């Protein structure tokens, strides 16, 4: 075991966690997944068959696996050592507190996504370093809780008996159920550090709050949490999925009943593509379950729309999905790759060539934007809901924890689905 050098432009801030990753860990074996068209998917066309693997193909798959694991280790190294060198992206609150949204040492939704990526890597490969980094992060930060997103990983760690987070899981879930401001019809109002976003639903909320509530409900055996999570998914689909295109609007407000700038924003959509398969998997919903059918139909409509607007040359998606004049964005692409591949593996969508091709092109697009040091490029900074869609194009590009983690999620799922 040896210490990885810190990547350029990702120098560790004082007190940062340094991952110790090894090149000599044994690879975990996983049965090759075989896919058939699912009965939920009524269309049957261009299904890609699975032929028996030849020796040369097996060798190529092993080489691809090794290369992917190397990228994953570099991504983790940059994730825990990333730093805002100039202070340009620090968030200053009204009470004087300063939140470092880029670094690994604060508590924000950005870090929650990073922790979730580490968790999924540990689940699939048994990577001990990913588990240790997560446990160390919670140990050092539970005294300064500010957001809900990291509690998704905390619930998994509690379930694994790797740590006892009962008090934190209980207090946060109870806050969501009883004290989180609600919109009309009981939706989770998307409050943030800086603004309350009165009467607003955002597509981000499904990943940031609804999934954590679901997992906590399962771990603590509180079915009313799970029922509330189901209702939130349906309510967000009702108001945020565009009936015309199948894509999702970034936000909806009951205070005026509109979608602000009508932006079909990339990363907001990717939270949906990722969270619906995760939610179905969490609840182990059977094929004949009505909610599963409803969620799957929504997911298929979105993925069908995504396939049509993927950039042919790069495999990436634009930050405004249906606006080719907006810049190409890699974190959303990684989220789409994760969600599409997981949907294939769970048979929520059939293994058709168009879906397989879109996922593989997206993975290649992500790989093409990872530097040798492990930094994912072409990542947009945190983005509020705008009244003018043009403002989305002005958001700056910078490396962020959620970019690193979405790439980590995508490559980890790639190992499980295709390699």
Please list the active-site residues. Answer: 204
DSSP for 88-100, please give it: TTEEE-TTS-EEE
Residue 251: what are its φ and ψ, rounded to 5°? -150, 160
d(CA 418, CA 124): 13
What is the H or E stretch that residue 200 is in? Answer: strand 200-202
Which of these, 324, 326, 316, lies nearest to 394 by C-alpha position? 326
d(CA 315, CA 323): 15
d(CA 89, CA 382): 9
d(CA 364, CA 236): 31
SS3 193: coil
Angle at 375 between CA 371 and CA 380, to 5 degrees: 115
Retrieve residue 234's tokens.
Answer: 């349906």
Which of these, 104, 111, 129, 130, lies nearest to 119 by C-alpha position? 130
Which of these, 14, 12, 21, 281, lies nearest to 131 by C-alpha position? 21
Q: How far is CA 77 from CA 5, 71, 334, 370, in A?
A: 9, 10, 18, 12
- How far from each other are the two terminal CA atoms of the chain, in whole angstroms? 25
Q: How far is CA 378 from CA 196, 365, 402, 404, in A?
A: 29, 11, 12, 11
Q: Characterize the bridge pairing of strands 98-100 and 317-318.
A: unpaired
Retrieve residue 12's tokens.
Answer: 């560790």
The beta strand positions in 34-95, using DSSP E, are 90-92
d(CA 386, CA 418): 38
Is residue 110 within 8 A of residue 116, CB to CB? The reply is no
């Amino acid at each position: 075991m040896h210490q990885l050098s810190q990547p350029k432009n990702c120098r560790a801030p004082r007190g940062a966690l340094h991952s110790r990753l090894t090149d000599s860990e044994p690879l975990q074996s996983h049965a090759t997944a075989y896919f058939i068209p699912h009965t939920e998917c009524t269309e049957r066309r261009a299904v890609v068959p699975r032929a028996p693997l030849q020796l040369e193909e097996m060798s190529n798959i092993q080489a691809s696996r090794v290369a992917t694991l190397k990228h994953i280790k570099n991504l983790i190294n940059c994730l825990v050592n990333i730093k805002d060198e100039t202070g340009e992206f620090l968030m200053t609150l009204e009470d004087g507190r300063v939140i470092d949204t880029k670094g690994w040492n604060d508590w924000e939704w950005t870090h929650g996504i990073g922790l979730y990526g580490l968790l999924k890597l540990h689940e699939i490969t048994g990577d001990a370093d990913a588990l240790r980094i997560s446990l160390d992060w919670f140990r050092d930060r539970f005294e300064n809780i500010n957001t809900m997103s990291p509690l998704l990983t905390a619930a998994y760690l509690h379930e694994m008996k790797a740590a006892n987070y009962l008090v934190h899981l209980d207090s946060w879930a109870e806050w969501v159920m009883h004290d989180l401001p609600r919109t009309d019809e009981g939706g989770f109002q998307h409050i943030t550090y800086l603004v309350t976003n009165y009467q607003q639903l955002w597509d981000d909320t499904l990943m940031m709050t609804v999934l954590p509530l679901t997992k906590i409900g399962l771990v603590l055996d509180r079915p009313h949490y799970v029922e509330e999570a189901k209702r939130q998914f349906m309510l967000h689909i009702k108001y945020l999925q565009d009936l015309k295109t199948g894509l999702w609007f970034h936000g909806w407000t009951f205070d005026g009943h509109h979608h602000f700038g009508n932006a079909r924003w990339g990363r907001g959509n990717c939270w949906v593509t990722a969270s619906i398969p995760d939610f179905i998997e969490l609840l182990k919903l059977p094929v004949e379950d009505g909610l599963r059918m409803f969620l799957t139909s929504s997911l298929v409509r979105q993925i069908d729309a995504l396939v049509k607007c993927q950039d042919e040359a790069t495999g990436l998606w634009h930050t405004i999905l249906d606006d080719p004049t907006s810049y190409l964005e890699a974190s959303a692409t990684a989220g789409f790759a994760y969600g599409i591949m997981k949907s294939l593996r769970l048979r929520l969508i059939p293994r058709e060539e168009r879906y397989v091709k879109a996922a593989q092109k997206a993975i290649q697009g992500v790989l093409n934007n990872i530097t040798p040091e492990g930094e994912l490029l072409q990542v947009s900074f945190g983005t509020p809901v705008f009244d003018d869609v043009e403002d989305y194009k002005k958001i700056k590009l910078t490396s962020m924890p959620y970019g690193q983690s979405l790439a980590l999620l995508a490559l980890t799922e790639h190992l499980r689905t295709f390699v």
